[in-house]
Amino acid sequence: MKILTPTLVVTLTILMIGPSFARDHMPSSEKIDCAGMDSNVQSIERAPNCQRAFGIMIQCSNAGGGDVGPGDAVREKCEAVFLPKLNAAGRKAYQRELKRCVDKYANMQGSLYQSRTAFCQTDLAVRRAARYEKQR
């Protein structure tokens, strides 16, 4: 029996944990339309906050290149919370962290790695936004 590669383990973990994480961040009465990337992005844009937007992204993820657009929409929503509060050094540090996500999967082929890059960058923005929301 082959040993599972770290890539497969991470992918399976996201696919198993993702739906429960999304349910925790979404009211049960809220209907999410995951019919396609455009509807996913629209649902994310209508989300009341960064955490809910991320929950929609997770719930509607297809673990492929289709996660890039929704990831950008979530990042934009989350960045609105903290980017205006960062000084020049803070913005540079944030850009370096985003670049690390790109570099991490730069030599990998396939749309799965586009999804991973999108999730890495989005998770970074969600965590930063949460930190700044707590400081309010």
- Does residue 104 form part of some domain? yes
- Does residue 35 form part of some domain? yes
- Does residue 12 form part of some domain? yes
Q: Collapsing DSSP states into helix, strand and coil, what is residue 120?
A: helix
Pull the structure tokens for residue 24: 């925790």
- Does residue 1 form part of some domain? no
Contacts of 39 (CB under 8 A, 6+ apart): 33
Residue 77: give the domain boundaries.
6-134
Summarize pLDDT for 41-77 with one digit per residue, the tens: 999 999 999 999 999 999 999 999 999 999 999 999 9
Q: Distances from the Cα of 72 to the Cαs of 54, 57, 67, 79, in angstroms?
A: 11, 10, 9, 10
Q: 93: pLDDT confidence band, cut at 50, 70 and 90?
A: very high
State if pTM tops 0.85: no
Pull the structure tokens for residue 77: 């929503």
